[in-house]
């Protein structure tokens, strides 16, 4: 017997609430997740969506009613998204409910936002007379409002502005309304996050390379052969212009487009470029939008008010009825992988969604992920390249400086002689400099010089980082404390910070170049809203000479006056326990180097390192992707790592260490004894663990991990499917949270 779990209302936060119906035998083949069905509900007939098909009845079988049938008429947008959720659940492992919540925006049953406006109900002369009267009588609040209305020249005033900035009480406003002096009008309206932008004239013609790439994709689209494209284009080669050209064609054909951009690169600058070309047909989603605003964007997309949705990972689920194109810019970015269940990768989900509606997917990057480049080599993605910068601007010259040699020569500064020399020259010429510190906080931990104890977060298994104002901060849970006077372990007073974080570097650089105007962009300096944009703006207006920062500064910003990029300690990111370390280092350095010489003057870069021979650094200095890829893929192959093989990380998390460890041991044994003998027929599988996660405790929760390396992705999916029933039955798992992560990009 087959049963369908059905949700009746997806507009409220009740996705957990499914109702189970029996599937009539004749419909068994046609009922799938996403299908809209008619169901008996009390004594009413309602429609709902199938979210799951199962053979396990949730309660007494005889009391489960059969569903009436498949709902006729058009297929609603939600059906596609629910089917996508089912695919995500299946391929990434999570509950159906978690998958639905990732895919559908939930409207809470709050009142619809109304925007109230205050209008002046009197002529200007009359209002002016009243104002004099109020002032005489010291009705200061009423006078403030009237003055503001007079000054606004007949424009209505925002109610919230009146209450907020003008500090008026609701009673005052009401009393003016009652006297007939003002009117309050309200309208429910969609909140449009880009409505305050001003559209500029757009004019630009693609160069020959851009045109060829664009045409190759459009030709496939015209012939109904849209597929997945990997657009590999060096920094500044004009990829964004290619995206916009493609979008223009797709829209002209009556379809819509989704553009994924990592949140950190989703700046005013980027949004403006799309807005200048497409105006009001563009909307954005980002984490700064309120839940209500997000929901509105969803509604606007569904209603056909917009054609383009720009945003991070979650924008992928914009409910466009006729989706023609999905673009993933900076496709190598880690943030496209969700780290909470369901741990999906936006790239693969995009490809699946595109398949459902015959849309094209364009993955763009100057430094494609090893994964995507491998897929292109295997013929699964169509590789397209832009190997030259627009208008043939040269790529920057890059030198590698060996820091060990510097030390031998007696230079203990964080700036090598060569970098100092170049910086001096740039400052003299009024050109700008970027200094990139690879990774935040990593070098700013506190340790005891007597006993070697490192000061750690009491809730997490990580060292605390030193911040401004003698604070120590945990970057995992936000725990904060002040710097202890003596070592918590041995009482020694020789506690000290190690090497330099960005703040320390700022101090040292300022000391070396007292005249230079320096900006710093890191965790501390960007904590307040808008501070990020402000720093970028200041720098792009050349109101500072040097920008010092972490990864945040290397992402897609175009500063025309930057002619020198210094990478201070390039190898830092090589020494993290993650097989992506070399890939990530190569990407960061290539992007960082690519920041130089974007304007009219050629750029230069200096990579300082203790490991000058490392292939990732060598390749980044030459901006040679192929050289990097050849070495890296050989290593992945040798180690059975993705993308050649696949990796499934099973993590167990619980507040009791012993219990958590036991759950992990039970899983490993189940896999070894019962599951792997069966599923490894599909392809070889290697089991690793259980062991502590590389960060064994976060927020007082202990974490144990088990890995499986598998030749075949679906074999790993089958292993996950075979494990799941045990979690419901076995008591060992009752207080432990189990999470699956396929091809994880971090968290080892």
**CA distance linking residue 315 with residue 328, whole number of Å:** 11
Residue of 593, 433, 604, 585 whose CA lies nearest to 509: 433
Determine, following the binding rule CB under 5 A, whether residue 362 of this chain makes contact with Zn ion.
no
Determine, following the binding rule CB under 5 A, whether residue 474 of this chain makes contact with Zn ion.
yes
Any bridge partners for residue 399, and if so which? Answer: 606
Collapsed DSSP state (helix, strand, coil) of residue 184: strand
Cβ-contact 481, 494 below 8 angstroms: no
Determine, following the binding rule CB under 5 A, whether residue 746 of this chain makes contact with Zn ion.
no
- Residue 558 binds which entry of Zn ion, ligand ADP, none, with Cβ cut-offs from 5 to 8 Å by kind? ligand ADP
Least distance to ligand ADP from the beta carbon of 395, Å? Answer: 12
Collapsed DSSP state (helix, strand, coil) of residue 295: helix
Tokens of 15: 């996705």
Determine, following the binding rule CB under 5 A, whether residue 448 of this chain makes contact with Zn ion.
yes
Using the rule CB under 6 A, which residue among 240, 525, 604, 646 binds ligand ADP? 240
Determine, following the binding rule CB under 5 A, whether residue 476 of this chain makes contact with Zn ion.
yes
**CA distance linking residue 284 with residue 482, whole number of Å:** 40
**CA distance linking residue 49 with residue 37, whole number of Å:** 6
Buried b (16+ CB within 10 A) or exposed e, 223-235: eeebbbbbbbbbb
Burial class (CB in 10 A: 0-12, 13-18, 19+), 685: buried
Using the rule CB under 6 A, which residue among 20, 235, 367, 745 binds ligand ADP? 235
What interhelical angle do 625-639 and 615-622 show, nearest 10?
Answer: 160
Determine, following the binding rule CB under 5 A, whether residue 453 of this chain makes contact with Zn ion.
yes
No. of helices (H) and no. of strands (E), the chain: 22, 30
Least distance to Zn ion from the beta carbon of 491, Å? Answer: 7
Stretch that binds Zn ion, among 345-353, 483-491, 603-611, 702-710 (CB under 5 A): 483-491
- Residue 489 binds which entry of ligand ADP, Zn ion, none, with Cβ cut-offs from 5 to 8 Å by kind? Zn ion
Least distance to Zn ion from the beta carbon of 457, Å? Answer: 3
* DSSP structural state of residue 337: B
**CA distance linking residue 431 with residue 560, whole number of Å:** 9
What interhelical angle do 140-151 and 170-178 show, nearest 10?
Answer: 70
Residues near 585 by Cβ (< 8 Å), separated by ≥ 6?
A: 438, 570, 571, 573, 574, 616, 617, 620
Least distance to ligand ADP from the beta carbon of 237, Å? Answer: 4
Binders of ligand ADP in range 374-433 (CB under 6 A): 390
The binding track of 610-639 with respect to ligand ADP, each residue x by CB under 6 A or -, is ------------------------------
Determine, following the binding rule CB under 6 A, whether residue 692 of this chain makes contact with ligand ADP.
no
Using the rule CB under 6 A, which residue among 78, 241, 330, 632 binds ligand ADP? 241
Residue of 628, 605, 624 whose CA lies nearest to 615: 628
- When the beta carbons of 286 and 450 are compared against Zn ion, the nearer one is 450
Least distance to ligand ADP from the beta carbon of 391, Å? Answer: 6
Using the rule CB under 6 A, which residue among 220, 397, 558, 578 binds ligand ADP? 558
Least distance to ligand ADP from the beta carbon of 559, Å? Answer: 11
Using the rule CB under 6 A, which residue among 33, 48, 93, 236 binds ligand ADP? 236
Identify the residue whose tokens are 């390249």: 385
Stretch that binds Zn ion, among 415-423, 458-466, 659-667, 707-715 (CB under 5 A): 458-466
User: How many other β-carbons are positioned within 10 Å of the β-carbon of residue 163?
Assistant: 15
Stretch that binds ligand ADP, among 133-141, 228-236, 459-467, 507-515 (CB under 6 A): 228-236
Residue of 656, 670, 655 whose CA lies nearest to 719: 670
- When the beta carbons of 272 and 518 are compared against ligand ADP, the nearer one is 272
Using the rule CB under 5 A, which residue among 11, 183, 380, 492 binds Zn ion? 492
Tokens of 333: 């970015």
**CA distance linking residue 426 with residue 431, whole number of Å:** 5
Residues near 69 by Cβ (< 8 Å), separated by ≥ 6?
A: 24, 27, 37, 38
Determine, following the binding rule CB under 5 A, whether residue 456 of this chain makes contact with Zn ion.
no
Backbone angles phi, psi at 612, to 5 degrees: -65, -20
Residues near 196 by Cβ (< 8 Å), separated by ≥ 6?
A: none
Stretch that binds ligand ADP, among 19-27, 230-238, 340-348, 643-651 (CB under 6 A): 230-238
**CA distance linking residue 143 with residue 31, whole number of Å:** 66
- When the beta carbons of 104 and 386 are compared against ligand ADP, the nearer one is 386
Stretch that binds ligand ADP, among 71-79, 90-98, 203-211, 526-534 (CB under 6 A): 203-211
Determine, following the binding rule CB under 6 A, whether residue 204 of this chain makes contact with ligand ADP.
yes
- When the beta carbons of 187 and 205 are compared against ligand ADP, the nearer one is 205
Stretch that binds Zn ion, among 136-144, 452-460, 533-541, 589-597 (CB under 5 A): 452-460
Stretch that binds ligand ADP, among 233-241, 468-476, 511-519, 573-581 (CB under 6 A): 233-241
**CA distance linking residue 351 with residue 92, whole number of Å:** 15
**CA distance linking residue 447 with residue 475, whole number of Å:** 17
Determine, following the binding rule CB under 5 A, whether residue 489 of this chain makes contact with Zn ion.
yes
**CA distance linking residue 723 with residue 279, whole number of Å:** 50
Least distance to ligand ADP from the beta carbon of 539, Å? Answer: 16
**CA distance linking residue 177 with residue 171, whole number of Å:** 10
Using the rule CB under 5 A, which residue among 457, 505, 535, 648 binds Zn ion? 457
- When the beta carbons of 479 and 748 are compared against Zn ion, the nearer one is 479
Cβ-contact 593, 586 below 8 angstroms: no
- Residue 451 binds which entry of Zn ion, ligand ADP, none, with Cβ cut-offs from 5 to 8 Å by kind? Zn ion
Least distance to ligand ADP from the beta carbon of 236, Å? Answer: 5
Determine, following the binding rule CB under 5 A, whether residue 479 of this chain makes contact with Zn ion.
yes
Backbone angles phi, psi at 486, to 5 degrees: -125, 160
**CA distance linking residue 510 with residue 453, whole number of Å:** 32
Stretch that binds Zn ion, among 423-431, 491-499, 517-525, 537-545 (CB under 5 A): 491-499
**CA distance linking residue 648 with residue 675, whole number of Å:** 14
Determine, following the binding rule CB under 5 A, whether residue 486 of this chain makes contact with Zn ion.
no
- When the beta carbons of 160 and 387 are compared against ligand ADP, the nearer one is 387
- Residue 105 binds which entry of ligand ADP, Zn ion, none, with Cβ cut-offs from 5 to 8 Å by kind? none
**CA distance linking residue 520 with residue 449, whole number of Å:** 29
- Residue 490 binds which entry of ligand ADP, Zn ion, none, with Cβ cut-offs from 5 to 8 Å by kind? Zn ion
- When the beta carbons of 458 and 602 are compared against Zn ion, the nearer one is 458
**CA distance linking residue 195 with residue 198, whole number of Å:** 8
Using the rule CB under 6 A, which residue among 101, 239, 426, 636 binds ligand ADP? 239
**CA distance linking residue 108 with residue 398, whole number of Å:** 53
Angle made by CA atoms 676, 681, 682, in degrees to the nearest 5? 105
Element spanning 676, H or E = helix 676-679
Using the rule CB under 6 A, which residue among 20, 98, 192, 237 binds ligand ADP? 237
- When the beta carbons of 253 and 491 are compared against Zn ion, the nearer one is 491
Least distance to ligand ADP from the beta carbon of 393, Å? Answer: 9
The binding track of 341-380 with respect to ligand ADP, each residue x by CB under 6 A or -, is ----------------------------------------
**# residues near ligand ADP by CB under 6 A:** 15
Using the rule CB under 5 A, which residue among 490, 507, 639, 688 binds Zn ion? 490
Cβ-contact 272, 201 below 8 angstroms: no
Note the residues at the interface with Zn ion (CB under 5 A).
Answer: 448, 450-451, 453, 457, 459-460, 474, 476-477, 479, 487, 489-490, 492
Note the residues at the interface with ligand ADP (CB under 6 A).
Answer: 204-207, 210, 233, 235-241, 390, 558
């Amino acid at each position: 017997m087959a049963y369908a779990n059905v949700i009746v209302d997806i507009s409220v936060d009740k996705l957990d609430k499914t109702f189970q119906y029996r599937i009539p035998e004749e419909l068994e083949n046609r009922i799938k997740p996403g299908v809209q069905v008619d169901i008996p509900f009390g004594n009413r007939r309602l429609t709902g969506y199938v979210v799951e098909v199962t053979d396990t009845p949730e309660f007494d079988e005889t009391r489960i009613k059969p569903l009436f049938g498949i709902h006729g008429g058009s297929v609603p947008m939600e059906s596609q998204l629910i089917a996508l959720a089912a695919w995500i659940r299946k391929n990434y492992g999570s509950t159906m409910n978690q998958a639905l919540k990732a895919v559908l925006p939930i409207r809470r049953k709050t009142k619809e936002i109304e925007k109230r406006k205050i209008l002046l109900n009197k002529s200007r002369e009359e209002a002016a007379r009243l104002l004099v009267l109020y002032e005489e009588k010291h009705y200061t609040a009423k006078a403030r409002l009237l003055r503001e209305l007079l000054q606004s020249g007949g424009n209505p005033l925002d109610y919230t502005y009146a209450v907020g900035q003008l500090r008026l009480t609701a009673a005052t406003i009401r009393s003016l309304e009652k006297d007939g002096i003002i009117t309050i009008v309200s309208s429910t309206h969609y909140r449009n996050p880009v409505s305050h932008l001003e559209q500029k004239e757009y004019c630009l013609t693609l160069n020959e390379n851009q045109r060829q790439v664009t045409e190759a994709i459009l030709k496939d689209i015209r012939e109904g052969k849209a597929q997945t494209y990997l657009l590999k284009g060096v920094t500044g080669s004009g990829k964004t212009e290619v995206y916009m050209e493609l979008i223009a064609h797709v829209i002209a054909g009556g379809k819509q487009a989704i553009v994924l951009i990592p949140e950190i690169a989703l700046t005013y600058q980027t949004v403006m470029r799309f807005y200048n070309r497409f105006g009001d047909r563009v909307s954005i989603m980002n984490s700064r939008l309120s839940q209500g605003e997000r929901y509105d964007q969803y509604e606007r997309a569904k209603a056909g008010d917009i054609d383009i949705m720009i945003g991070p990972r979650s924008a992928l689920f914009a409910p466009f009825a006729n989706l023609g194109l999905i673009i993933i810019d900076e496709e190598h970015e880690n943030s496209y992988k969700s780290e909470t269940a369901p741990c999906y990768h936006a790239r693969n989900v995009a490809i699946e969604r595109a398949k459902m509606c015959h849309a094209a997917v364009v993955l763009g990057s100057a430094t494609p992920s090893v994964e995507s480049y491998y897929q292109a080599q295997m013929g699964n993605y169509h590789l397209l390249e832009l190997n030259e910068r627009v208008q043939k601007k040269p790529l920057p010259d890059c030198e590698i400086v060996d820091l060990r040699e510097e030390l031998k020569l007696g230079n203990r500064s964080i700036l090598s002689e060569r970098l100092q020399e170049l910086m001096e020259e740039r400052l003299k010429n009024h050109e700008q400099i970027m200094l990139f510190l690879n990774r935040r906080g990593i070098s700013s931990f506190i340790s005891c010089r007597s006993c070697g104890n490192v000061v750690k977060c009491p809730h997490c298994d990580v060292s605390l980082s030193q911040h401004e104002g003698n604070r120590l901060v945990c970057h995992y849970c936000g725990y904060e404390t002040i710097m202890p006077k003596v070592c918590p372990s041995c009482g020694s007073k020789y506690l000290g910070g190690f090497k330099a974080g960005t703040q320390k570097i700022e101090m040292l650089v300022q000391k070396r170049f007292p005249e230079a105007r320096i900006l710093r962009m890191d965790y501390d300096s960007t904590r307040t809203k808008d501070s990020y944009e402000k720093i970028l703006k200041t720098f792009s207006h050349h109101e500072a000479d040097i920008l010092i920062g972490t990864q945040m500064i290397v992402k897609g910003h175009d500063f025309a006056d930057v002619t020198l990029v210094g990478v201070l300690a390039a190898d830092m990111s090589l020494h993290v326990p993650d097989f992506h370390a070399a890939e990530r280092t190569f990407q960061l350095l290539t992007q960082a180097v690519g920041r130089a010489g974007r304007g009219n003057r050629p750029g230069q870069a200096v990579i300082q390192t203790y490991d000058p021979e490392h292939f990732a650094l060598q390749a980044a200095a030459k901006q040679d992707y192929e050289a990097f890829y050849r070495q890296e893929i050989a290593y992945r192959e040798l180690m059975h790592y993705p993308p050649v093989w696949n990796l499934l990380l099973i993590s167990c998390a619980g507040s009791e260490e012993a219990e958590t460890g036991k759950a992990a041991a039970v899983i490993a044994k189940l896999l070894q004894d019962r599951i792997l003998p069966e599923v490894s027929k599909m392809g070889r599988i290697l089991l690793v663990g259980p062991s502590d996660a590389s960060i064994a405790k976060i927020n007082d929760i202990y974490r144990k991990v088990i890995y499986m390396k598998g030749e075949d992705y679906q074999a790993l999916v089958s292993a996950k499917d075979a494990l799941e029933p045990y979690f419901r039955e076995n008591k060992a798992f009752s207080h432990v949270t189990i999470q699956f992560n396929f091809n994880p990009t971090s968290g080892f």
